[in-house]
Structure 1
Amino acid sequence: MPRGVRVSTAVTRVFGIRHHGPGSARSLRAALAEFRPDIILIEGPADADPLVGYVGADGMAPPVALLAYVPGEPARAAFWPFASFSPEWQALRYGAEHGVPVRFCDLPSTHVLAAREHEPAEHRDPLAELAAAAGYDDAERWWDAVVESAADSGAFDAITEAMRALREPAPPGAEVAEPSTPAGATATGGPVESPAGVGGAEPRVLHPIPVDTQTLRREAYMRQTMRKALRAGSERLAVVCGAWHAPALDGPLGPAAPDTRLLTGLPKVKTASTWVPWTHSRLATASGYGAGITSPGWYHHLFTETEQPVVRWLTRVAGVLRAGDLPVSSAHVIEAARLAETLAALRARPLAGLSEVTEAVRAVMCGGDETLVRLIAEELVIGEALGAVPADTPTVPLAADLTATARTLRLEREPSARTIDLDLRKERGLRRSHLLHRLRVLGIEWGVPAQSQVRGTGTFRESWTLCWEPEYALAVIEASRWGTTLRTAAEARILDHVANADITLAGLAAALDTALLAELGAATDGLIARLDEVAALDHDVTHLLGVLPGLLRTRRYGDVRGTDVSALGRVADGLLVRICAGLPGAVTGLNTEAAENLRDQIDAANAALRTGADGIEQWQAALRVVADRDDVHGALAGRAVRLLADVGEIDDVESALRLGAALSVGRTAQAKAAWVDGFLGGRGLLLVHDRELLRLVDEWVRGLGDDQFTEVLPLLRRTFGTFEQPERRAIGRAVRGGARADGGSAAIDVERGELALRAALTILAAAPRPADAAEPAGAIP
């Protein structure tokens, strides 16, 4: 016998558990208290042992997860989640409370993350097989009935035997010939019968599930860890593992050589590990978690509420429904509790489970409304809770900076979405805005800009929707390659982004705007230089026009953050010179869609320049060139005339002459309509106050033939549809009254009017009326 090994006196207990289950957790606590181990091995990455000491530290609150990642490639990572009702967590807590050493015994993350691709395995749920053998059509309901609702420290042996019946009879440590058929397993392993005492149903045929190579390697490493603990002198060894692995660890360990050969040559990679907060929703099966459960909120309730859990649960359900203004009284709670207990008795269950409680809620509290049942499922059955880890947990500097900054700004990481309004005139609101913008630069969407619900908002206010997801912990680690603080990391990240050779002017302008919002001062100069460089090589006027308004607004107004934006002046002035020089050549040969897009850009640039920016004279000179050309799309020529008329460069007389020329013979009806749309778009007051323009447009419309009118009607509708309702009414009255060049109304024929009035009065006089009725006022004798 090898020196130091005392297997003759050592006692080993293997506790096969479900990774997240309150019954298993409670049973395991009782079993550990009864067994009183001197060391506990838990299924988990063996190289995470240094983190076990944080389990009992202040500030550690499940749900949490072990995170292992490759420092140079944070995207290569793995999580091992734990909730308060996870048996493994209760084993960790037991060790911390009783001074018992706890170690992880599964394959280290150095091997797990080194394997980029895993061999395909047959994915069959052993619990589903056992549930079917027991006559259940739902594995979750079977486990809830047999284990979770009837905690018993003696159930582990029965669970191990049940799993043993499902595994192919491969002896411990056997080497694998082929992935699909482990050595020692029968290629066509015959069915075996369900063991008695599991499920409470008549024995039914079970079909063994093959064990894949990766599972055998993991179990080999677990046995090696067990041998190491025994060699170190352990007398009472407790092993907590998934029920599927229990048969491979139970009983004599056998020789170590086969396990050593199975583990030889495994790939390795350098990894780092830490604790991160987790959420209940990430424990749910719907999240894609392989070991997920359907009801983490219900399981948490069962574990924490040991006295009258059903009544307390129904009380919480009533609270949720009442919060939705639904009439739920104490009588509903009492009746639902009675119904749940009756259903449990009919089904021979010791305690009402989730299925009985849900049926009682559906019938008594929700009146059969499935929408309300789904609400309860989302709010309570799955629920939402975010764990916490101690502040001194090992992590990257960037994560530490985020934690410290969020704590200073009193921003709580919450798993449920909530909207906040930030007043940028206040120091805290401004710093919160900087933090959230910097996180977005780093790809961490903790906050998403939202529409403010506060009336009268301005540029001094921002609204954000905050929701923390567990995956952001990994995103922070991934972003740590850019720097050790949020500010330096965001500056490096945004400069790297704009250094891309494919970056566009629009992308650069957006990056510069983001840098100003996030107060990334060290990146501003580099962004402006890059913007100047790209703009110098971009000869597309539409690209230059697209970024000019934003630069002008930023240069003129800056923002309430007090950012120095004077360096933008030179870039903006250079862009304007190039735009004015290239605009006349850019407006020719455009189809309708391109012309209308360019018109929108011209409008935006004109609005920005009219706020007092330098260079307005050369801009107006460029518009004059566009207005004078005959080969320009009407939408652009008409808009150029309108913009020049707005600033007095073209008077009303010249505007009318240009409109008359545009509507003259020789142009197509479509071209005329486009010119009118460009000239009038959004400005109905022009026709209200200038009757000569109205007369020209009216005469042109009345002179259209049927085919021409049908052709231009959609464009005219769009043009006049942009006018305000009072403007359209005023134009209609002017047209009905007869538009005159002098602005007056058509002459009234008094004699004909008197004839019409006498005829109307005669008709009215012939109508029957009371005898004492007075003569109509104003009647003409």
Structure 2
Amino acid sequence: MTATTAPLLLGVRHHGPGSARAVRAALDAARPAAVLIEGPPEGDALLPLAADERMSPPVALLAHAVDDPGRASFWPMAEFSPEWVAIRWALDHGAAVRFIDLPATHTLAMAKDPTWEDGDGENGDGGDADDQRYGLRIDPLAVLAGTAGYDDPERWWEDVVEHRGTGAAPNGPPDGASGTRATHTGAGHDPIAVFAGLADAMTALRETYGHGGHDRDLVREAYMRLQLRAARKAHGDGVAVVCGAWHVPALAARTTVTADRALLKGLPKVKTEITWVPWTHRRLARHSGYGAGIDSPGWYGHLFSAPDRPVERWMTKVAGLLRDEDRIVSSAHVIEAVRLAGTLAAMRGRPLAGLTETIDAVRAVMCDGSDVPLGLIRDRLIVGDALGEVPERAPAVPLQRDLTRLQRTLRLKPEALERELDLDLRKETDAARSRLLHRLRLLGVAWGEPVAGRAGTGTFRESWRLRWEPELHVRVAEAGVWGTTVLAAATARAESDAASATALADVTALAERCLLAGLSDALPVVMKALADRAALDADVGHLAQALPALARSLRYGDVRSTDTAALAEVATGLAERVCVGLPPACTGLDADGAAEMRGHLDGVHTAIRLLPDTGDITGRWAGVLDRLAARDSVPGVIRGRAARLLLDDGRLPEDGAARLMGLALSPGTPPADAAAWIEGFVGGGDANPGGGMLLVHDERLLGLVDAWLTTVTAEAFTDVLPLLRRTFSAYEPGVRRTLGELVRRGPASGRTARPEATTPGFAPELDETRADAVLPLVRLLLGAAGADDDELLGAGT
């Protein structure tokens, strides 16, 4: 290394493959004794891990405050990041390597200090959001691109850097639109020249715009200059610095040690810990909020790794993806897309087809002009779903180590790509997986999201949607304050939530989550809090809202072999209080209150059917419904729903239902109230979906509705129409079509008068011989091969 190049300042764009190739070429040419990299010095001890064969980028340094793990910052690195290339070069060549940016102990403290502006859009986790909050730092690339006549900084950077060959890359990127190999990679090419040009450009920008708008940059650069002086004192002129191009002029500036130390005086501090964590390409994208500065990490990764002919190789990847999605893409499509991309680049004056040209070519040739397949290409290839890997010996909080052990034991590998997971809780491994996912959700680590499972699989099935995001490492660190294992932490968190909860519904939901997570040690605390809140809460709506969660908890307890006797006692007492207080609470309600109470009615009805029938709670509930159905002071939607629930449970004969409907639709009833009764009786709901089928199979009730509707006056019809549309629009298309046919033909006045063929597919009487034929199949599905018919019917119920 000559004196004219010392120290060697390599200004880069973070996560730029062209910068990464240029850095590698410059280091190969200069052979420095020490490499200094923009990053937190606390990470110096972790740098040797980068040489571990189990370390696979993208990865990130994660620094967090010990006392407040939620206060954290990331320094992500991909395979094509210049910083990662510099680290690997130094480790491979025996050079000293260090981070020289402002320590995380200061940056994390400054992030919470209102006297400091925070907005490092390069490495921190604030990114663009911080820029908007504190005043936008100038974008050097945008300024340079505009000066060069480009309206897109990304396209300008690709043309001048990413598509530029280097002397150290004999198989470098193609230089022309045809995709041929770069022609300026001869021995005479200077690998340092590109950095000198960028340094001159940044110097001119800083002379025009100052330091760019963030005072913290001045502090960071002062610290980096001090570290550079120390390195030169130890290694002489054999020092190379890899940092953001914006900082190069500041590092080359002549300042005094006293002036730099003055800028660092009085900085706030916080105790920090740092480690390597896996990262993803999705989190490298700018839109993720981490300010990495690139929109297309998958594309950049391809440019960095493709040894030659990157456009042809890219089009081959795209074709393979589309073929996997059953789209017809041939070799001819690939050839034509490459030609079109090259032609577009030549017409636009670009040295090589970039991402814009490849997208346009793929849309025209492989996607038939449609943007729909392009969405898949952007997601899978342009952004990508790569997830890095970190060796187990990397530092981690005890909770993270326990989680990693459980993930390995249960064969639940964290993946960046979203996937569905179906669990059968009768299998021990699946039950353990379910408990782990529920415990993590209780701790705020939302690795899995429950989704509706396959229809008809019963309570022994659970379905989850899994996706591991890098920030979940921060959530795990935050949850570490509750315990050193997932079980202990979830138990402590549940007990704390039970003590602090004020609403009854919150405690019942917590009890349900504890049962799902298998937190038997936390249940006594939660149950005591539940009993206390239930005893003090006199609001029937709150009681009705809390009961369904308790009933579900009892069902989950049966599935998971959990003792729920105490929970059943509380739930039964809650149900009894609802039975006493619900009838008076349903009088004098307006439309919104009636609609809300109808929802509570459905929830309580479903819940009571799941409770152990001690003290004939089911019979008491039926009496409540009977009173509600017959009480004129109760809103029509509640009276109709109560009548429907009684009918479905067999506690109200069909003649009785017809009588109640006739009264509700009599001429003396206001049309709006009558329409509300219809909505409650035949409308859908969680407890009784498919209300329209009742009218399909009972033409007597359909006739009453039809006769009432024909007598509504024109003035009143305008008022009741929205209610009726809301009721009947919830039916499935087939049900609405059948009802229309029945009304058009004119329904019979009674069920016995209905012709056999009135409703296609239904006979007037049950064919017991044909019905018995399905019983062997039902036994097989329910796993009750040896059960008799009565036991079979009970199991099905």
Give the TM-score category using the shorter length: 0.7 to 0.9
Name the structure 1 match of 2:475.
475
Name the structure 1 match of 2:228.
226
Name the CA distance, whole Å, in 2 between partners of 1:121 and 1:718.
Answer: 49
Q: Is the 8 A contact 1:168 1:210 kept in 2?
A: no
Q: Is the 8 A contact 1:42 1:104 kept in 2?
A: yes
> 1:594-673 maps to which residues of 2 (within 5 A)?
594-610=593-609, 613-614=613-614, 615-623=617-625, 625-626=627-628, 629=631, 631-637=633-639, 668=670
Say whether 1:411 aligns with 2:388. no
Residue identity matched to 1:429: D
> How large is the Cα RMSD of the aligned pairs?
4.1
Where structure 2 has 5 or more consecutive residues not aligned to the other structure, the ranges are: 118-133, 169-189, 684-690, 755-797
Q: Is the 8 A contact 2:59 2:276 kept in 1?
A: yes
Residue identity matched to 1:618: R
Residue identity matched to 1:236: G
Residue identity matched to 2:492: A
Q: Displacement of 1:728 after TM fit?
A: 6.1
Q: Displacement of 1:61 after TM fit?
A: 0.6
Deviations 1:162-186 (A, max 9, x none): 434543699xxxxxxxxxxxxxxxx
Name the structure 2 match of 1:84.
79
Name the structure 1 match of 2:294.
293
Residue identity matched to 1:111: H
Name the CA distance, whole Å, in 2 between partners of 1:434 and 1:420.
Answer: 14
CA 1:211–1:159: 2 relative to 1, 3 Å = farther
Name the structure 1 match of 2:309.
308
Name the structure 2 match of 1:461.
461
Q: Secondary structure at the match of 1:113?
A: helix
Residue identity matched to 1:482: W
Name the CA distance, whole Å, in 2 between partners of 1:618 and 1:29.
Answer: 80
Q: Secondary structure at the match of 1:65?
A: strand
Name the CA distance, whole Å, in 2 between partners of 1:630 and 1:301.
Answer: 73
CA 1:426–1:739: 2 relative to 1, 3 Å = closer
Name the structure 2 match of 1:430.
431
| Structure number with larger C-alpha Rg | 1
Name the structure 2 match of 1:56.
51
Q: Secondary structure at the match of 1:69?
A: strand
Deviations 1:471-493 (A, max 9, x none): 11112112222222222222222
Q: Is the 8 A contact 2:498 2:507 kept in 1?
A: yes
Please identify, of 8-17 and 128-137, the stretch whose mean Cα deviation from structure 2 is larger: 8-17
Name the CA distance, whole Å, in 1 between partners of 2:705 and 2:336.
Answer: 76
Say whether 1:109 aligns with 2:94. no
Q: 2:166 aligns with which of 141, 146, 151?
A: 151
Name the structure 1 match of 2:489.
489
Q: Is the 8 A contact 1:40 1:101 kept in 2?
A: yes
Name the structure 1 match of 2:14.
19
Q: Displacement of 1:633 after TM fit?
A: 3.6
Q: Is the 8 A contact 1:166 1:209 kept in 2?
A: no
Say whether 1:69 aligns with 2:68. no
Q: Displacement of 1:433 after TM fit?
A: 1.4
Name the CA distance, whole Å, in 2 between partners of 1:308 and 1:659.
Answer: 77
Q: Secondary structure at the match of 2:463?
A: strand
Name the CA distance, whole Å, in 1 between partners of 2:142 and 2:389.
Answer: 33
> 1:354-753 maps to which residues of 2 (within 5 A)?
354-362=355-363, 364-366=365-367, 368-373=369-374, 375-452=376-453, 454=454, 456-501=456-501, 503-555=502-554, 558-610=557-609, 613-614=613-614, 615-623=617-625, 625-626=627-628, 629=631, 631-637=633-639, 668=670, 682=691
Residue identity matched to 2:421: I
Name the CA distance, whole Å, in 1 between partners of 2:148 and 2:719.
Answer: 75
The aligned length equals 700
Name the CA distance, whole Å, in 2 between partners of 1:162 and 1:279.
Answer: 29
Please identify, of 19-28 and 728-737, the stretch whose mean Cα deviation from structure 2 is larger: 728-737
Q: Displacement of 1:56 after TM fit?
A: 0.9
Name the CA distance, whole Å, in 2 between partners of 1:735 and 1:347.
Answer: 70
CA 1:634–1:424: 2 relative to 1, 3 Å = same
Name the CA distance, whole Å, in 1 between partners of 2:301 and 2:709.
Answer: 74
Residue identity matched to 1:84: E
Name the structure 2 match of 1:47.
42
Residue identity matched to 1:304: S
Name the CA distance, whole Å, in 2 between partners of 1:135 and 1:544.
Answer: 68
Name the structure 1 match of 2:140.
126
Name the CA distance, whole Å, in 2 between partners of 1:730 and 1:651.
Answer: 26
Deviations 1:441-488 (A, max 9, x none): 222222122233x46422211222211211111121122222222222
Name the structure 2 match of 1:245.
247
Q: Displacement of 1:105 after TM fit?
A: 0.8
Name the CA distance, whole Å, in 2 between partners of 1:71 and 1:308.
Answer: 48
Name the structure 1 match of 2:280.
279
Which TM-score applies when normalising by structure 1?
A: 0.78
Q: Is the 8 A contact 1:688 1:727 kept in 2?
A: no
Q: Displacement of 1:242 after TM fit?
A: 1.7
Q: Is the 8 A contact 2:695 2:739 kept in 1?
A: no
Q: Secondary structure at the match of 2:51?
A: coil
Name the structure 2 match of 1:137.
151
Q: Is the 8 A contact 1:167 1:208 kept in 2?
A: no
Q: Secondary structure at the match of 2:71?
A: strand
CA 1:734–1:656: 2 relative to 1, 3 Å = farther
Name the CA distance, whole Å, in 1 between partners of 2:723 and 2:341.
Answer: 67
Q: Displacement of 1:309 after TM fit?
A: 2.5
Name the CA distance, whole Å, in 1 between partners of 2:699 and 2:214.
Answer: 86
Q: Secondary structure at the match of 2:497?
A: helix
Deviations 1:327-384 (A, max 9, x none): 3322333344445556667778765544554454455444554555554343323223
Deviations 1:588-647 (A, max 9, x none): 222344335434433443454356622234334444555665544454456556666777
Residue identity matched to 1:467: R
Residue identity matched to 1:507: D
Q: Displacement of 1:390 after TM fit?
A: 0.9
Name the CA distance, whole Å, in 1 between partners of 2:753 and 2:92.
Answer: 97
Name the structure 1 match of 2:216.
214
Deviations 1:57-85 (A, max 9, x none): 23211111111111222232211111111
Name the CA distance, whole Å, in 2 between partners of 1:647 and 1:45.
Answer: 68
